[in-house]
Amino acid sequence: MITNTNNLSEEAKTRLMNFFSHMIEPKDMAKVIRQANYLLAISAIRENQCLQNEMINFENSFYWLNELAEALNPYLNVE
């Protein structure tokens, strides 16, 4: 089901624009999301046994997904 995505506040839109302008390119973020999804799926299939060489990609993906989450709704940076 597709829902309306125009419910972002102007502040959230600004944070997203800043995130994709200064932190990571949208195409690179899409790659990070796909890598994380792949690793989560393969981990579940293999009963949580990730390949060691894939862990580096997972750590990088985790970082960028967290940065995107902070851009959408700051939580960790709130004092």
Q: What is the SS3 assignment for 61-77?
A: HHHHHHHHHHHHCCCCC
The two most distant CA atoms of the chain are separated, in Å, by 42
Read off the pTM.
Answer: 0.59
pLDDT attached to residue 48: 52
Residue found by looking up tokens 């932190």 in the block? 23
54's enclosing H/E stretch is helix 52-72
Tokens of 42: 């393969």
Confidence of residue 76 (pLDDT cuts 50, 70, 90): low
* Mean pLDDT across the chain: 76
pLDDT of residue 53 exceeding 70, the answer is no
CA 7 to chain centre: 20
pLDDT-derived band of residue 21, with 50, 70 and 90 as boundaries? very high
